[in-house]
Copies of this chain bind each other. A is one copy, B any other.
Amino acid sequence: MKEGVILLEHGSGGQASARLLREVILPHLGEVPLLDSAVLKDFSASLAFTTDSFVVDPIFFPGGDIGSLAVHGTVNDLAMVGATPLFLSVAFILEEGFPLKLFSRVVASLGEAARKAGVRVVCGDTKVVPKGKGDKIFINTSGIGILKGDFVLSPSRIKEGDRVIVSGPIAEHGLCVLAAREDLGLEGLKSDSQPLHRVTEAFLSRFGPEIKVLRDPTRGGVAAVLHEFAEATGLSFILEEEKIPLRPEVKAGCELLGLDPLYLACEGRLVAVVTREIAEEAASFLRRFPEGQGACVVGEVTRERFPLILQTCYGGLRPVPPLAGEPLPRIC
C-alpha cells in the first residue's frame, strides 16, 4: 500500500479510509484506535485547551517536518500557559496524489514526537481534497493539558522594571524553513523545533509567581510577542541587541537576506518576563536544561514613547515597529 498515492477514496469513510487508518496511521500512533471521540477518564483539575493548524512549506526541513512540528507547536502552546500536555487530537487534510510513502514518514515523525513529549494522540480525522485544492498535507493538532499552578500567567502581571529572558538562540526555525523552501543554499541551519513543557514545568515550579508570563515566539517572532505584551500593558520593552542570542549561521543568513531576526519564528524557544530580582538566576536555571541552552536576559520593561525599542550594538536606540505584511509565509 505504501507505494501508492492518496486517493479521494481515502477520505470516503469506507474501506479505503479504514485501510489507510489501519496500515499507515495507527501503526505510528500507538495501540489505541483513533475513534471519533476519545474518552478521558476521571478528571479533577483545571484544563488548558489549544488548537493549531500546520501548513508549513516545505513539509520536510532540516531539524524536523510538519509531523513533529504539529506536536511541538501544540505542546508548547499548552506549556506557555503553565499546563502539562496530556492529550492530542490529530486531523489531516491530504491532497489527492500525495505519495503514501511521504505521508507515512510524516505520521511516523508525528508519532515519535508525541512519544518523546509524553503526550497521547487520542482522536483523529482524515480528509482528502482533490488535486490542486490543497498542498500535500495540512495537519491540525488540538491539545488538552492539566494546569497545576495556583497563579495565572498573563501579560497583565508585567510591571515596569521586569526583565525579558529568551531561552536560547532565536530566529532559526523561520530562517531554516525559508532557506529550505527557496533553496537558498544557506549552510548549517537547523530548525529549533522542540517541546518545551518539561523546562516550563521545572521553571514554574522553581520560580512560581516571580514569572509573569511565558510565550513561544512563533509567527512574527520575538517582536510579535513583545508587541502583544506592550499592547496589553501599555508598557514598553527595550532589548539589548548584543545580548540577543543568535547562532552565527543565523546572523549571517539574516544579514545576507536583509531579514530582522526579531521577526523570525522559533518553534522551540520561549520568551519569559520575570521580576528583576530573579532574572539572572532564572536565565542560569534555564541554561541547565538542553532546551534552555543559551538562555539569557535580553531586555527590560520600561516606559518609553515606543512599545519596542532595540538598543543597538553601537549604543543607539531604534524603535522596532509591529510586523506589517508577511515576510515569511508558511513557516508553521
Q: Which residues of A are interface residues toward B (Cβ below 8 A)?
A: 7-9, 11-17, 35-55, 57, 77-78, 80-81, 83, 87, 89-93, 122-125, 127-130, 132-135, 138, 140, 142, 144-145, 147, 152, 218-220, 224, 265, 322-330
CB distance from A92 to the nearest CB of B (A): 8
Query: Complex Cα distance A81/B122, Å?
Result: 14
**B55→A129 contact, CB < 8 A:** yes
Look across to chain B and name the residue whose beta carbon is closest to the beta carbon of A95: B133
* Interfacial chain B residues near A145, Cβ < 8 Å: 37
Q: Which of B78, B125, B323 contacts A53 (CB 8 A)?
A: B125
Instruction: Report, nearest first, the 3 A-B pairs whose CB atoms are least far apart.
Output: A13-B219, A14-B323, A13-B220
* Interfacial chain B residues near A323, Cβ < 8 Å: 12-15
CB distance from A132 to the nearest CB of B (A): 7
Q: Which of B80, B135, B142 contacts A89 (CB 8 A)?
A: B142
Look across to chain B and name the residue whose beta carbon is closest to the beta carbon of A219: B13
* Interfacial chain B residues near A11, Cβ < 8 Å: 219, 326, 329
Most buried by B among A7, A38, A50: A50
CB distance from A154 to the nearest CB of B (A): 10
9 example contacts (A-B, Cβ-Cβ < 8 A) are as follows: A7-B326, A9-B324, A14-B325, A15-B323, A36-B50, A37-B80, A37-B81, A40-B48, A50-B123
Q: Which of B39, B83, B330 contacts A147 (CB 8 A)?
A: B39
* Interfacial chain B residues near A90, Cβ < 8 Å: 51
* Interfacial chain B residues near A55, Cβ < 8 Å: 93, 127, 129, 134
Q: Which of B39, B47, B49, B134 contacts A133 (CB 8 A)?
A: B134
Q: Which of B7, B9, B83, B140 contacts A37 (CB 8 A)?
A: B83
Most buried by B among A80, A133, A147, A265: A133
* Interfacial chain B residues near A219, Cβ < 8 Å: 11-14, 17
**A224→B14 contact, CB < 8 A:** yes
If A7-B326, A51-B125 are given as contacts, then 15 extra A-B residue pairs at C-beta distance below 8 Å, sorted by A number, are: A8-B329, A11-B219, A13-B224, A14-B326, A16-B324, A16-B326, A37-B77, A40-B48, A43-B43, A43-B45, A47-B144, A91-B140, A91-B142, A125-B140, A142-B142
